[in-house]
Structure 1
Amino acid sequence: MRSLADAQPPLALGALDGRYRAAVAPLIDHLSEGALNRERVHVEVEWLIHLTTHGAVPGVRALTGAEQLALRQVVADFDLADIAELAEIERETVHDVKAIEYYLKRRLPRIVGAANAAGLAELIHFGCTSEDINNLSYALMVQGAVRQVWLPKAHDLVAQVAQLATDLKDVPLLAHTHGQPATPTTMGKELAVLTHRLRRQLRRIEGAEYLGKLNGATGTFGAHTAAVPSTDWIAVSKLFVESLGLTWNPLTTQIESHDWQAEIYSDMARFNRVLHNLCTDVWSYISLGYFAQVRGQGSVGSSTMPHKVNPIRFENAEANLEVSNALLDVLATTLVTSRLQRDLTDSSMQRNIGTAFGHSLLAIDNAGRGLAGLDAVPETMGADLDRNWEVLGEPIQSAMRALGATGTPGMEQPYERLKELTRGRRITEADLREFVKGLGLPAEVEQRFLQLTPRTYVGLAPELVRFLD
């Protein structure tokens, strides 16, 4: 049998690069291996410009505006040919960051002239350990992926849930606590709860800090100060890191400690878990008939049962959220630990960031598609309420408690009396009306409860949805 590993073009091993590639493609510009190398080139270029512009190495001329523009154009033009060239260089260096240095040295003569290139070339990667370049590159990659791809998609989804909550704020719903009929609410209010939870996590993610460092092999500026002791390397480093749009970390070992990464991955995982809760709730509402899935979209629900429209978008989202969280959790727990001043576990671990983001983005896409295919069925929700008059035992006994506290006679043991009426059995509207009339309630209170129905017993649920505004 011919090996599929030999197929041309190569077949994808994972679902994100195969079946689901279109949904996660925007992340490729930020979290792929090619994106990592582009950001490394970016950081190295900016470091060279920074060193010369700020006179960090006395006697080295500042690059002209045209030269700086040409160097930055190397980053802007970075494409598949550059990725292939770097792979070729790395086969010789057997070191990915060193390959970046040699790649830029090849281009420098064309930018600054052959006569100037030899000296300036040695300022590429000056004073840096590989992690100085990598930590800044990863920070820029994750920042871009979060702000330009993941957050916009997440916000779109949450806005979709918020709109559904607003649309359904007045639609009464039989609540289920522990799987049992409970105090009625509205579908809109329940979706508003999930919207509120998701928004809180998005605010945390939006406020994330992206830290970076540039301080040498063990975080001491040892090589910098030995080579050029007259320069204020702390100030140079801080200004450089901040010029990239990152927060400067002054105290590190060889690596930036990755605590900020653990924080944002934990927040993203929490968003994923709330979204997972939304998916399971909506799936349950579909199974109860409270939502109908739009038919006629050309999809097959079941290969054998023609009547079925399966809630596959929500099930797909659940599965991908679980995979994403497994990766986000392991990233958050492992990246904060490094043996003494350096080990390389983080290097391998960080290569899974794109996969973690990809499964989350895919889940967001599927949840959005699922929500777009829903129609609320108020009639089914109402019918369930009509079958559960016993839920009105709660407001009646609560009113009796309040009346008893003010000295109204005949209000003794309200909970126990309602329990005897309702627990373990269904009651009808007639049963409840007869019971209310026999309680001896004040006329105004009795009339209020004779008019109350499970459909109207929703408290302030519709009003609570306004807190989404």
Structure 2
Amino acid sequence: MDEKFPHPVYKDTVLAPLFEGVKAHYVGAFRAINRAHLVMLTETGILPLEKSRRIAAALVDIDDTVDVASLTYTGEVEDYFFLVEAELKKRLGPDIAGMLHTARSRNDMDHTVFKLVLKAHADALIAKARTLAAALIDKAEAERDTLIVAYTHGQPAQPSTFGHYLAAAVEVLLRDTERLQAARANIDHCPMGAAAITTSGFPIDRKRMAKLLGFAGPLRNSYGCIASVDYVTGFYAAMKLTFLHLGRLIQDMQFWSAFEVGQLHVPASLVQISSIMPQKRNPVPIEHLRHLASMTCGRADAIVNTMHNTPFTDMNDSEGEVQVAGYAAFESGSRVLDLLAALIGAVTIDAGRVAKNIDAACITVTELADTLVRAEDLSFRQAHEIAAATARAVIAAGKPLGEGHAAFAEAFRNLSGRDSTLTESAYAETVSARHFVALRERFGGPGPQAMDEALAAYRASLTSLSEQQAAGLARAARAEAALDAAFGALLQE
């Protein structure tokens, strides 16, 4: 029986796909780790300068002469790490080539690689989330006074404004973005120096490694460096929540654009026409948004669930193919954020349909009851009964609520035993949708002043989130420049 490693089936089903994953995602991260580790070993005196210079030159030559993207996995080496080591041996011999691996392991290297790539994906996604938040704030400001019908339990409830509705979505997205940035911050601790499990007997400088690689600092506990995968579960959980919440907004857009509701108009550029029914306007981008958001939730869930009941140790369940599989969530999620930002900017509210639905559903009648409490010194329950009787009468007569003063006066007299002081014009003003919204200037309400205050707060929050991310990106850029300079110095004779 042939005992030579690797078994051909294992090669094809595991090692080859892993190698392809490295080619697609991790070569740059491995290169950065090799260079930073060599700089650290030299600065700490673990490696002599002359040998470090030879290793540095060999690493550059490998980058220049080995076209990793064109390679096909053959099984001659186990993985990309051993491929680089084999190439170093060709150029330097086994003794000097092996020095680069002093005081490190594939364990700490792998999780550092995964964190470097996950941070980049996270940064791109968070930037897109902020772009969507900005688009929502801009639209909410533009539509601050645009009346809509607000629904509860699928039924017309009260008038509000499109701006107020979008402001609610802004608040959720800002909280989701805060969660994403907090989860991203938990990725930003470097495992290098943990080695296999317990760090090393060599006088390594873990803080220097973290700084050279652009991390905020080293992850303290060395066992946790190779065992804790909360940096994975934390970010994908935050991602799932983001797209679960956006899915609810998307579903409302589907409902609002339905023919029977019709308060949301989707422009022709985002509408497809039926192949057989020429009268149909199908706003299918909303459907694509819905299923892409759901796919993103599912893909994020798959990564989190893969960690369920796994041992608290270094394990393949959190590595390689699992990490690569997670990147699909970023792909579909990015498409949702881009398309939703475009759709939000393009849609409009059909004022005519809103007015008809307001009239048909008597959704301003709550303010009639409130006004009776304030102006007629009634209990809310008595006022509610009068308002309900008024609504029933105008609906039965097929009239809008604004034309129901006679029905109101009769209901008021029958239920209170006296005449109302509300004149016909005062009654009409009381039950108008514009009046309903204008009165609601309480903190967080749809009134113009309340909305202006809220929009200013959202912009301030978004600016703060942007500044936080910019600071992290600037630190990473400085680290990249510092690593280039330190490694370049090793190449100087």
Q: CA separation of 1:125/1:309 partners in 2, compared to 1, >3 Å: closer, same or farther?
A: farther
For 2:65 and 2:160, how far apart are their aligned partners in 1?
55
Q: In the alignment, is residue 283 of structure 1 matched against residue 254 of structure 2?
A: yes
Q: Which amino acid aligns with 1:421?
A: T
Displacement after TM superposition at 1:315 (Å): 0.8
**CA distance in structure 1 between the aligned counterparts of 2:311 and 2:381, rounded to whole angstroms:** 69
How is 1:35-114 mapped onto 2 (pairs within 5 angstroms)? 35-55=25-45, 57=46, 59=48, 61=50, 63=52, 71=59, 81-85=67-71, 87-88=72-73, 91-106=75-90, 109=91
1:400 equivalent in structure 2: 372
Measure, in 2, the Cα distance between the counterparts of 1:101 and 1:179.
63
Shift of 1:260: 1.9
* 1:195 matches 2:170: yes
Question: Which among 303, 306, 314 is matched to residue 278 of structure 2?
Answer: 306
Amino acid at match of 1:397: A
Query: Aligned with 2:99: secondary structure?
Result: coil
Deviation at 1:170, TM superposition (A): 0.5
Assess, with a 3 A threshold, how the Cα gap between structure 1 residues 429 and 383 changes in structure 2: closer, same or farther: same
The number of aligned residues is 410
1:303-342 map, 5 Å: 303-335=275-307, 338-342=310-314
Q: Provide the residue aligned with 2:209 in structure 1.
A: 240
1:105 positional shift: 4.9
SS of structure 2 residue aligned to 1:94: coil
- Rounded to whole Å, the distance in 2 between the matches of 1:240 and 1:370 is 44
Q: Which residue of 2 aligns with 1:8?
A: none
Rounded to whole Å, the distance in 2 between the matches of 1:357 and 1:448 is 55
Task: Tell me which residue corresponds to 1:219.
Answer: 197
Match in the other structure for 2:150: 175
**1:383 counterpart (340, 356, 361):** 356
Task: State the superposition RMSD in angstroms.
Answer: 3.3
Q: Deviations over 1:385-412 (max 9, x none)?
A: 2323x323312222333467xxx47987
1:250 partner SS: coil
**Residue 157 (1) aligns with residue 132 (2):** yes
What residue ranges of structure 1 are gaps of 5+ in the alignment? 1-30
How far off is 1:72 after superposition? 6.9
Equivalent residue number for residue 257 of structure 1: 228
Identify the residue that residue 273 of structure 1 maps to in structure 2. 244
Residues 31-77 of structure 1: per-residue CA shift (max 9 Å, x gap): 9742213212221221112111232x16555856x9869957976x7
Do structure 1's residue 450 and structure 2's residue 428 form an aligned pair? Answer: yes
**1:314-348 Cα distance to aligned partner (Å, 9 max, x none):** 11111111111112123234347642533321123
Structure number with the higher helix fraction is 2
The TM-score, its normalising length taken from structure 1, stands at 0.77
Kindly indicate whether the alpha-carbon contact (under 8 Å) linking 1:392 and 1:453 is maintained by their aligned counterparts in 2: yes
User: SS state of the match for residue 160, structure 2?
Assistant: strand
Question: Secondary structure in 1 aligned to 2:265?
Answer: strand
Q: Residues 424, 54 of structure 1: CA spacing in aligned structure 2 closer, same or farther, 3 A cutoff?
A: farther
Taking the aligned partners of 1:392 and 1:218, their CA distance within structure 2 comes to 68
Identity of aligned residues (%): 17
Confirm or deny: 8 A CA contact 2:393 2:407 kept in the other structure.
Answer: no
8 Å CA contact 2:373–2:380 kept in 1: the answer is yes
Aligned partners of 2:402 and 2:427 also within 8 Å = no
Q: Does 1:343 align with 2:329?
A: no
For residues 9-31 of structure 1, give each alpha carbon's deviation from its aligned partner in whole angstroms, at most 9, with x where no partner exists.
xxxxxxxxxxxxxxxxxxxxxx9
Q: How does 1:25-44 map to 2 (within 5 A)?
A: 33-44=23-34
Aligned pair 1:468/2:455, yes or no? yes
Q: Distance in 2 between matches of 1:422 and 1:78?
A: 81
- How far did residue 437 of structure 1 move? 4.2
Comparing 187-196 with 206-215, which one deviates more in the overlay?
A: 206-215
Q: 2:128 aligned with 1:142, yes or no? A: no
1:127 aligns with 2:113: no
Q: Secondary structure in 1 aligned to 2:150? A: strand
Q: Is the 8 A contact 1:47 1:240 kept in 2?
A: yes
AA partner of residue 122 (structure 1):
G
Once the two structures are superposed, residues 295-318 of structure 1 have per-residue CA deviations (whole angstroms, 9 ceiling, x without a partner) of 2x4974211112222121111111
Deviations 1:363-386 (A, max 9, x none): 223323433442332222122223
Q: What amino acid is aligned across from residue 218 of structure 2 in structure 1?
A: W
Going from structure 1 to structure 2, the CA distance change for 1:251 and 1:332 (only over 3 Å counts) comes to same
**CA offset at residue 431 of structure 1?**
5.9
Asked if the contact 1:41–1:100 (Cα under 8 Å) also holds between the matched residues in 2, the reply is no
TM-score, normalized by length of structure 2? 0.73
Structure 1 48/256 Cα, relative in aligned 2: closer, same or farther at 3 Å?
farther
Q: What is the alpha-carbon distance in structure 2 between the residues aligned to residue 409 and residue 279 of structure 1?
A: 42
Is 1:353 the counterpart of 2:339 in the alignment? no
Q: Which amino acid aligns with 2:192?
A: L
2-side partners of 1:455 and 1:73: how far apart? 73
Local SS of the residue matching 2:70: helix
1:415 paired residue number: 384
Offset from partner CA, 1:118-148 (integer Å, 9 cap, x none): 654222222322121111111111111221x
- Unaligned 5+ runs, structure 2: 1-20, 413-417, 457-493
Q: Structure 1: how far apart are the matches of 2:166 and 2:370? A: 27
CA distance in structure 1 between the aligned counterparts of 2:81 and 2:419, rounded to whole angstroms:
82
